[in-house]
């Protein structure tokens, strides 16, 4: 057998042994971890890393085989470079899965299923935004390191850095939207003007925060449509958050009635309707005259609810009940236009013809 043939046989044996060892270790640990994953968050986290650990074990073992390749220095350098790129990609994949495992652990610890889930939603929002930003960094750093391992790319980057700085300015302007959204995500995670499942008014649309990604927010509108808003928009523009510190709110209903309308029966009817409604939380139920125009009075009805959904149902029920009450008991007090027609008293013009 020639020297090269013996060398190749050694390489094949080492690669085969490394592949079998990596496969065996991965399956053994996966089997053990699955038995305790349901009872241990740490075991579930490690189990999630196993698909990326198996290639890593193989790459570590294959490094020994590469050094035994009986070829020229040029071929050996090419194999080392391929091995390095694969190692960088696998480490980035390992970091990506580690971030996913952390997200799963936090989601299990703070499920946000309780009625009073303000703290859970706060933690989940911070976790979503920070992990989304970390994943963007993993892609940028991993991809950058892998590309910079190529001599041509590294030389091109060095030439750009050595230029007069125009290229850097152009790249900075091009990357500004990505960086601004990344910084906006970090700011939202720390200050938390909004959280997951918050009720918000964005550009006139009522909806709930459904997702918070690394660069955008998904708002689920009341009619099941989705509004995609960049993270930077929430930093630069005002918006309403109805659940910032509490979900409780006071709904407002306006009614126009005639000047002859008795107000006390309406107040009594409002108390009856609110008391019979499961959506009323018992805090506020009042009726006031807020405007008096030349034709009618404007009544403002206030009714409180535990959250916006209950508040909307309560306001519709109150409006319908009060209008029905007036139609049945005081139909003459519904708003109307009045006019008076009088005969002209002016003398007719004489015919001057």
* CATH number of the structural domain spanning residue 266: 3.30.70.100
Domain boundary among 205, 222, 242: 242
pLDDT score of 215? 76
Same structural domain, 229 and 256: no
Same structural domain, 141 and 25: no
Most trustworthy range by pLDDT among 42-46, 78-82, 104-108, 339-343: 104-108
Same structural domain, 138 and 26: no
Same structural domain, 254 and 269: yes
CATH code: domain of residue 143: 2.30.30.60
Domain boundary among 200, 218, 242: 242
Same structural domain, 31 and 145: no
pLDDT score of 227? 93
The pLDDT confidence band at residue 220, using thresholds 50, 70 and 90, is very high
Q: Does the pLDDT at position 334 exceed 50?
A: yes
| Least-confidence region, from 134-138, 262-266, 348-352 | 348-352
Domain carrying residue 267 = 249-333
pLDDT score of 273? 94
Q: Bigger pLDDT: 166 or 104?
A: 104
CA distance 265 to 280: 20
Q: Does the pLDDT at position 40 exceed 70?
A: no
Same structural domain, 91 and 140: no
Q: Average pLDDT in the 227-231 region?
A: 88
Answer yes or no: is 338 within a domain: no
pLDDT score of 247? 81
pLDDT over 90 percentage in the chain:
23
Answer yes or no: is 350 within a domain: no
Same structural domain, 167 and 76: no
Same structural domain, 161 and 255: no
| Least-confidence region, from 28-37, 100-109, 294-303, 310-319 | 28-37
pLDDT score of 123? 76
Answer yes or no: is 278 within a domain: yes
Closest to 157 in 3D by CA, of 141, 169, 168, 170: 168
Same structural domain, 215 and 170: yes
Cα separation values, 163 from 173, 179, 185, 255, Å: 17, 23, 33, 70
Q: Average pLDDT in the 43-54 region?
A: 72
Answer yes or no: is 20 within a domain: yes
The pLDDT confidence band at residue 167, using thresholds 50, 70 and 90, is very low
The pLDDT confidence band at residue 164, using thresholds 50, 70 and 90, is very low
pLDDT score of 251? 92
Same structural domain, 90 and 28: yes
Same structural domain, 104 and 210: no
Same structural domain, 102 and 138: no
Closest to 258 in 3D by CA, of 337, 173, 340, 176: 337
Answer yes or no: is 266 within a domain: yes
Domain boundary among 184, 211, 242: 242
Give how many domains the chain has, as a whole number: 3
Answer yes or no: is 174 within a domain: yes
Answer yes or no: is 352 within a domain: no
Answer yes or no: is 24 within a domain: yes
What are the residues whose beta carbons fall under 8 Å from the beta carbon of 57, sequence distance 6 or more? 18, 21, 22, 25, 26
Would the pTM of this model clear 0.85, i.e. be above it? no
Give the largest CA-CA distance in the chain. Answer: 140
From the CB of residue 127, how many other CB atoms can be counted at a distance below 10 Å? 21
What are the residues whose beta carbons fall under 8 Å from the beta carbon of 83, sequence distance 6 or more? 59, 62, 63, 66
Most trustworthy range by pLDDT among 18-27, 56-65, 138-147, 157-166: 138-147
Helices 41-66 and 73-109 sit at what angle, rounded to 10 degrees?
A: 180
pLDDT score of 350? 53
């Amino acid at each position: 057998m020639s020297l090269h043939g013996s060398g190749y046989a050694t390489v094949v044996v080492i690669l085969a042994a490394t592949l079998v060892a990596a496969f065996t270790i991965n399956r053994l640990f996966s089997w053990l971890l699955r038995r305790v994953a349901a009872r241990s968050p740490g075991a579930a986290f490690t189990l999630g890393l196993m698909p990326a650990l198996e290639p890593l074990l193989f790459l570590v073992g294959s490094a020994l085989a590469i050094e035994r390749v009986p070829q020229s220095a040029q071929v050996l350098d090419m194999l080392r470079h391929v091995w390095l790129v694969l190692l960088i990609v696998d480490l980035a994949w390992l970091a990506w899965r580690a971030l996913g495992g952390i997200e799963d652990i936090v989601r299990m610890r703070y499920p946000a299923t309780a009625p009073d889930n303000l703290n859970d939603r706060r933690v989940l929002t911070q976790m979503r935004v920070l992990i989304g930003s970390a994943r963007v960094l993993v892609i940028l750093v991993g991809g950058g390191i892998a590309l910079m391992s190529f001599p041509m790319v590294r030389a091109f980057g060095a030439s750009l850095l050595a230029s007069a700085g125009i290229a850097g300015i152009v790249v900075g302007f091009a990357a500004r939207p990505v960086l601004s959204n990344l910084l906006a995500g970090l700011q939202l995670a720390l200050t938390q003007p909004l959280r997951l499942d918050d009720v918000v008014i964005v550009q006139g649309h009522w909806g709930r925060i459904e997702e918070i990604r690394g660069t955008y927010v998904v708002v689920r509108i009341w009619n099941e449509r989705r509004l995609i808003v960049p993270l930077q928009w929430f930093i630069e523009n005002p918006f309403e958050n109805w659940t910032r510190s509490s979900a409780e709110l006071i709904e407002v209903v306006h009614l126009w009635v005639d000047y002859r309308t008795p107000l006390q029966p309406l107040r009594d009817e409002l108390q009856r309707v609110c008391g019979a409604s499961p959506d009323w939380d018992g805090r506020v139920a009042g009726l006031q005259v807020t405007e008096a125009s030349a034709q009618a009075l404007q009544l403002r009805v206030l009714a409180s609810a535990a959250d916006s959904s209950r508040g909307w149902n309560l306001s519709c029920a109150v409006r319908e009940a009060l209008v029905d009450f007036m139609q049945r008991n005081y139909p003459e007090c519904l708003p109307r236009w009045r006019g008076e027609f009088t005969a002209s008293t002016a003398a007719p013009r004489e015919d001057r013809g």
